[in-house]
Amino acid sequence: MKLNSKLGTSAVAAAVAIACGGAYAATITAPSPATWSLQHNSKAKGGSTTTAAFDSTVRVVLGSDYIANDTVTLILDTATSGAKFVTNTSTLTGASGYSTNVTCANGSGNQLTLSFLSRDDSNANYRVSGTPGTPSGSTCNFTLPLLRSTVATEGAAPKVSWSAKTAQSGLAFDTSSVVATLGTVINQFPEGTVTAELDSVVDVDAGRYQFVVDSTKNAAFGTSGRGDTLSFTLAEDTSAETDALVSTIVTTVSGDFSFIDNNGTAGCQGGDLNTGHGRISASGGTLTIDSACSTLTFTATTTGTKSITFGTQTDSTTPSNGQVIDAPQEFSMGAITYTWGAASNGSTGSTAADFEDNAAGEWTLNGSISKISYMPYGTGISRIIYITNRSTQTGGVSATAINDKGVECEIANVATATKGAVTILSTGLDAGVAACYGADFNGKVAFEITANVPANKAEVYSAYNVNGNRVLVVNDTNGKN
């Protein structure tokens, strides 16, 4: 039987494809997948009356022959990625190819012209024009304009697929299940990282006005090895084809920084950072401090590694201004706020990010730490806990409690251990237990008691009374535990 000469080769290919389960299939690729900045794309503008766009290139190698009036469509996965084609050239800036015809060619000299028909949000339509010969194996390079503002979801990876239909009957042919990934959207401002935590020891023998000398640390503000430095990275991913432009980056550090307060009464002020005995300075940015001395605000104009250094101006243990350094205490980083503008006619925006781990270290104390492993609470039971401070230094007392259910609680202000005196601790400890576990708590509690006095000059006495009977509880400062 002779094939009807009027039946086009594309129709034959479609029939064979149906019979053979897709024997002919085009291949589609994106030769240069891009990386886009979420921030830049979300705010970029073409100008006062235009919309920002960009070009993506897609390459298709035909798997079948085509004839005049066959149609092809490049399909963008708008529903999945959110990306959209440009549909109005009058508001287009930054891209081309809106109505461009495409010429496909193979090594045999056969060419196929695809004339542009139309484009909506997700479909770019073309029709075969002229008499193409036998274009199977021809390569077609498409320039597809996309709206920047629609390619602005972190992790989005817009994809394009290929569809072809015969002129005579609209049968699908040369269709591939393969898709071309045009690129990926990244978050330009990811999490920050603390690269060096605070870890100094406050020296009670220096009246808590200094850190213990550590030869591994750099000198700070002229003192010898008594400085402590917090280092952190304000991160930026610069792999995008166009980045947003950073204007400011702000983060915070929380702790008790009252040691820089010059007079101890008016709260902290900006001038206290670098004028008194206690000093705090920044590298790679600027610092401010709140009046409560509890929050440092760090502001930078560039990303990268930054640092904040803490220390004292002199090695004096009796400075004329400045306060004692609070310890033990832990520090933490706050959220990061990046303020930026899109490159080229862009409006501004901001991005919030966290640190991978917001722990910024701690300052410990070479003072007295006493552990009481057992202390009962309940009806008819009272506690008898004192500290004897034989030093010439008065210091605050704090404690960490943990009950028989494993619940830990911090008791910040137990008492003040007066120099050369005996001070009751049980009143403050009982108040802390009631606040943590309830006024009617009935159970057992262990305490770790920290006193800001020299360890070799302090001893804790611990006992409890049950119906008039005193029971001594050993602890690790009286050598019995």
1 lies in some domain: no
Q: Are residues 177 and 207 in the same domain?
A: no
Beta bridge partners of 339: 248, 350
* C-alpha torsion 425→431→437→439, nearest 10: 130
Q: Which among 39, 59, 56, 216 has a CA at the least distance from the CA of 141?
A: 59
Query: Residue 345 above 90 pLDDT?
Result: no
- Mean predicted confidence (pLDDT) in 63-81: 94
95-124 pLDDT, tens digit each: 665 668 898 888 777 788 999 999 899 999
Q: How many domains does the chain have?
A: 3
Contact indicator for 240, 187 with CB cutoff of 8 Å:
no
Which domain, by its residues, includes 139? Answer: 9-186
Q: Are residues 383 and 250 in the same domain?
A: no
pLDDT of residue 276: 83
Q: Are residues 379 and 358 in the same domain?
A: no
479 lies in some domain: no
Burial class (CB in 10 A: 0-12, 13-18, 19+), 67: buried
Say how far apart CA 137 and CA 170 lie, in whole Å: 22
- Backbone torsions φ then ψ of 343, nearest 5 degrees: -65, 145
Query: Residue 412 above 90 pLDDT?
Result: no
pTM of the predicted protein model: 0.77
Q: Are residues 356 and 386 in the same domain?
A: no
Among 152, 169, 186, the domain-final residue is: 186
* C-alpha torsion 253→256→257→262, nearest 10: 150
Among 315, 336, 363, the domain-final residue is: 363
478 lies in some domain: no
388-407 pLDDT, tens digit each: 999 988 888 989 999 999 99
Average pLDDT for the chain: 87
CB atoms near residue 258 (< 10 Å): 20
4 lies in some domain: no
pLDDT of residue 207: 78
CB atoms near residue 349 (< 10 Å): 16
200-249 pLDDT, tens digit each: 999 887 878 889 888 777 667 766 778 899 999 999 999 999 899 999 99
Say how far apart CA 480 and CA 374 lie, in whole Å: 14
Q: Are residues 46 and 145 in the same domain?
A: yes
Query: Residue 17 above 70 pLDDT?
Result: no
Q: Is the peptide bond before 328 cis (omega within 30 degrees of 0)?
A: yes
Q: Are residues 308 and 206 in the same domain?
A: yes
Say how far apart CA 398 and CA 448 lie, in whole Å: 9
* C-alpha torsion 313→315→317→320, nearest 10: -30
Say how far apart CA 15 and CA 172 lie, in whole Å: 9
End-to-end Cα, the chain, rounded Å: 106
Q: Are residues 315 and 383 in the same domain?
A: no
418: its two tokens: 């007066």
- Mean predicted confidence (pLDDT) in 289-313: 95
326 lies in some domain: yes
Q: Are residues 376 and 442 in the same domain?
A: yes
Q: Are residues 180 and 275 in the same domain?
A: no
47 lies in some domain: yes
- Mean predicted confidence (pLDDT) in 273-299: 94
Q: How would you classify the pairing of strands 359-365 and 201-202?
A: parallel
Say how far apart CA 320 and CA 440 lie, in whole Å: 47
pLDDT of residue 4: 39
Q: Are residues 172 and 204 in the same domain?
A: no
CATH code of the domain in which 170 resides: 2.60.40
pLDDT of residue 47: 59
313 lies in some domain: yes
Q: Are residues 353 and 372 in the same domain?
A: no
Burial class (CB in 10 A: 0-12, 13-18, 19+), 401: buried
Say how far apart CA 257 and CA 88 lie, in whole Å: 58
SS3 (DSSP) at 277:
coil
Q: Are residues 164 and 22 in the same domain?
A: yes
Among 321, 347, 363, the domain-final residue is: 363
Contact indicator for 235, 192 with CB cutoff of 8 Å:
yes
477 lies in some domain: no
- Mean predicted confidence (pLDDT) in 288-295: 96
Query: Residue 271 above 50 pLDDT?
Result: yes
